[in-house]
Amino acid sequence: MLMSKLKNKFINRDLSWLSFNERVLQEGMDETVPLVERLKFLGIYSSNMDEFFRVRIATVKRLGKTYKGDINETLAGYTQKELLGELHDKIQSLQFEFERTFNGIIQALEKKGIQLINEKQLNREHKKFVHTYFNELVRPALFPIILNKTKSLPQLSDKSVYLIIRFAEQSFGKQNDYALIEIPNSLPRFVELPNKSQQKTIIFLDDVIRENLSSIFKQFSASEIEAYTIKITRDAELDLDTTDLTQGVMDRIAKSVKARKQGQPVRLVYDKEVPADVLDFLSTRLKVSKKDELISGGRYHNMRDLIKFPNFGRQDLVYQLPKPALHPALISEKHDMIKEMNKADILVHYPYQTFNYFIDTLRDAALDPLVTSIRITLYRIAENSFVTNALINAAKNGKNVVAVVELQARFDEENNIYWAKKMQEEGVKVIFGVPGYKVHSKICLITRKAGGKTSYYANIGTGNYNEKTAKLYGDLSLFTSNPKITSEIKQLFNFFENNLAKVKFKNLLVSPINTRSSFLELIEKEIENAKKGKTAYIKLKMNNLVDPVLIDKLYKASQAGVKVELIIRSVCCLIPGKKNLSENIQAKSIIDAYLEHSRIYIFANGGRTKCYISSSDWMIRNLDLRYEVSTPILDRSLVNEIEMIFDTQWNDNTKSRIIDKNLQNNYFSSLAPACSAQTFLSSYYQNKIIKN
């Protein structure tokens, strides 16, 4: 009975996540999207699926061994076996759709003069080039390993793709022995072949190796050498050693990241043409013989590499995205961010407007003789980071620079460790967060002393201080000198530096302190206003809506007559539009050229709209296990702008999908003229400069 009730009340988060990745796949299927961009979406889909297995499937498998509570409740009414079976069937279905879509795009590219061929389609000229390319560049990077039924299998990396080699009828009497070749990550996955015409011809690196198998194994006298692509995926959970107190936090995490490479396999993807004896050999050695761990695929794996598929400079094959616009208040090349913040709050919307404003702020602060300190939280740092370089420059200029670096940002641990060490070496004080919690907030505080007065300038955002992702992720960034905000940002940084300090917040919502309780109160107020006949609505935009307590509260709001609009990029465990439960709740999801990443929380508040931007989704981890910051927008003109942004995205009728219980991903349509929110917003910000 409990399981049935849970299924009627919540969507399982893993099934919802697969539905999100299906929306990504839909962009690959969309014939209105430029062809190379369609391949990129397939690459994103593939990369997402890798992470899904490394994190979510691994977690579900681990639940039976480690979870102390009711697994059925955690899995929204599913048993572990039921859920893994349903996930496997859905993944296999999506894999079929992926292969069909990939083949269709390749055929469409051929009509555009770009041909992808395999080793069996090489002409004489191409064969000559492939053999030369192999001998000069590929052979030195190959280290084949001979396998047999008695020799143990080497450690396979889940970042690599392999060719499993099968020998047939060898003259020295050994049959069905195997070999393994790791396809080098150091070389481009796609190799352009020479052509005298305008035709472009590409071959996978995998097939360059296949063409040269007889050369690689020239000592063998097998009558036939077969090669099949395989890929392993491992559990990505970090197992931190907390017993060795002689090790620093960086050393412990670095050790755990290294151990992750030997995690338990959770998936083996294999070429569906692989012979039964090869698959049996691999699955037995890797201990992935269960149905849900074996995924039949096509000839090629590690398709995240499609993100790097060449476009040959063809504008018709890629998005024509405008350069980020300037902010109307910051058009002058000599703009001073601190002076502008003294005048008014500034809201910047990435990637429609440039992230350079934040870099400028750090650079100006580093040079300003009156600035005494810069404090910042860093969650995902860019590989070549202008942000950290600006902080190092500030430290060299004598500023007190404090960086709160989250070393456990999943899959970015090694990069964050590198930059943490680099900053420490250059005089930046690096803090590794709060014991037992991740620091996921996006905040920066600059302290300036002039004429005996100390002033504070803050930046609070929805996305990471990462100039690379700021070009692709839709995020909001608030620059303010309002003491109501800056004083509390200062208080939080004081806590990060001294975890013993007591902290209370009147304006900011800070997890795990008051975020959950504050949002519950805000929803409750809408319920009360609806019952009194006052204006009552809630507009929420986030990446993931999972928390059962807040979902229950939204159900109560719906039943009280509060209109609730949800824009959820990824996971939505709430069931919208269900009679007697959520009739007043609608949910949509937008997948387009830019990744929708901003978190926006808007409440009618009886006619005096309350608006927050946040680093936090509505998940248990964001509300209770991380330090997150949601800031109120106190400037009414900016509240209006953010509500305009939300409404524009809500009315998108070209890239918006409806979220429902059946996870059908139907496109939202309306009688209004076709409108892509991202296209509209891009034009809006460009025109805003012209008008000003």
Residue 242 confidence (pLDDT) above 50? no
Structure-block tokens of residue 110: 């051929």
Distance CA 316, CA 134 (A): 32
With tokens 């009558």, the residue in question is 223
Q: Please give the structure tokens belonging to residue 38.
A: 């369609």
pLDDT band at 643 (very low <50, low <70, confident <90, very high): very high
Tell me the percentage of the chain whose pLDDT exceeds 70: 91
What tokens does 261 get?
């490479």
Q: Among 335-344, 393-402, 507-516, where is mean pLDDT lowest?
A: 335-344
**354 dihedral zone (left: phi>0; alpha: psi -120 to 50; beta):** beta
Residue 245 confidence (pLDDT): 37
CB of 563 within 8 A of CB of 589?
Answer: no
Token pair for 274: 């692989």
Q: Which of 296-300, 408-412, 429-433, 568-572 has the highest mean pLDDT?
A: 568-572
Band of residue 252 on the pLDDT scale cut at 50, 70, 90: low
Binned at pLDDT 50, 70 and 90, residue 689 comes out as: confident
Q: Coil, strand or helix: which one is 618?
A: strand
654 burial (CB, 10 Å; 0-12 / 13-18 / 19+) is middle
Separation between Cα atoms, residue 480 and residue 129, nearest integer Å: 59
**Minimum mean pLDDT among 261-270, 380-389, 461-470, 668-677: which range?**
261-270
**Does residue 327 have an active-site annotation?**
no
**Residue 629 parent element (H or E):** strand 626-632
pLDDT for position 443 = 98
CA distance 164 to 180: 5
Average pLDDT over residues 458-486: 97
The dihedrals phi and psi of 598, each to the nearest 5 degrees, come to: -70, 145
The stretch 266-274 carries a mean pLDDT of: 89
* pLDDT (average), residues 596-600: 98
Check residue 611 and give its pLDDT.
Answer: 98
By C-alpha distance, which of 279, 286, 134, 156 is closest to 205? 134
Q: CB under 8 Å to 662, separation ≥6 — which residues? A: none
Domain definitions of the chain by residue range: 84-317, 328-497, 509-691
Question: What single string gives the DSSP state of each residue in 322-363?
Answer: PPPBPPGGG-STT--HHHHHHH--EEEEETTB-THHHHHHHH
Is residue 563 within a helix (H) or strand (E), and if so which, with residue range? strand 563-568
Token pair 């004896």 is found at 277
- The residue that leads in pLDDT, 8 or 426, is 426
Catalytic-role residue among 301, 327, 349, 440: 440
319-330 pLDDT tens trace: 999 999 999 999
For residues 378 and 423, what is the distance between their CA atoms, to the nearest angstrom? 12
Q: Give this prediction's pTM.
A: 0.92
Three-state DSSP at 375 gives: strand
Diameter over CA atoms, the chain: 90
**CATH assignment of 328-497?**
3.30.870.10
Check whether the bond before 351 is cis (ω within 30° of 0).
yes
Per-residue confidence (pLDDT) for residue 298, from 0 to 100: 87
- Alpha-carbon distance 486 to 492, whole Å? 10
pLDDT of residue 267: 86
Q: Residue written as tokens 């396998």?
A: 147
Asked if residues 103 and 188 have their Cβ atoms less than 8 Å apart, the reply is no
Supply the mean pLDDT for the chain: 90
Decide if 84-317 and 509-691 have a common fold. no
**Distance in angstroms (rounded) separating the CA atoms of residues 165 and 282:** 12
Which residue reads 């106190």 in tokens?
634
Cβ-proximal residues to 457 (8 Å cutoff; 6+ apart), any chain: 337, 338, 341, 361, 445, 446, 448, 479, 480, 481, 486
Buried b or exposed e, range 180-189, using 16+ CB within 10 angstroms: bbbbbeeeeb
The answer, yes or no, to whether residue 332 has pLDDT greater than 90, is no
Pairing mode, if any, of strands 453-461 and 473-480?
Answer: antiparallel
DSSP 60-72: HHHHHHH--S-HH
Tokens encoding 679: 């296209």
pLDDT value of position 243:
39
How far is Cα 97 from Cα 102, in angstroms, rounded to an integer?
8
The whole-number pLDDT of residue 222 equals: 67
Q: Is 425 within 8 Å of 398 (Cβ atoms)?
A: no
Residues counted in the chain? 692
Phi, psi of 28 (to 5 degrees): -70, -30
What digits encode the pLDDT tens for the residues 519-530?
Answer: 999 999 999 999
H or E element: which one contains 476?
strand 473-480
* SS3 call for 21: helix
Dist. CA 5–CA 575, nearest whole Å: 13
Average pLDDT over residues 108-131: 95
pLDDT of residue 244: 44
Interatomic CA distance for residues 676 and 319, integer angstroms:
14
Q: Give yes or no for a contact between 398 and 427, defined as CB atoms under 8 angstroms apart.
A: no
Angle at 270 between CA 269 and CA 275, to 5 degrees: 155
- Could you say which DSSP state residue 437 is in? B
Assign domain 509-691 one CATH number from 2.160.20.10, 2.40.160.60, 3.30.870.10, 3.40.718.10: 3.30.870.10
C-alpha–C-alpha distance, residues 414 and 430, integer Å: 16
Please tell me the distance from the alpha carbon of residue 472 to that of residue 110, in angstroms, as a whole number: 29
Q: What share of the chain is helix, strand, coil (3-state, %, to 5)?
A: 40, 20, 35
* Residue 104 pLDDT: 97
72-115 pLDDT, tens digit each: 667 888 888 899 999 999 999 999 999 999 999 999 999 999 99
Sign of CA dihedral 580, 582, 586, 591: negative
Among 128, 110, 105, 119, residue whose Cα is nearest residue 203: 119
Residue 455 has pLDDT above 70, yes or no: yes
Q: Does domain 84-317 have CATH number 1.25.40.10?
A: no
Asked whether the beta carbons of 571 and 622 are under 8 A apart, the reply is no
Q: Which of 205-214, 279-288, 361-370, 635-644 has the lowest mean pLDDT?
A: 279-288
Distance CA 384, CA 376 (A): 18
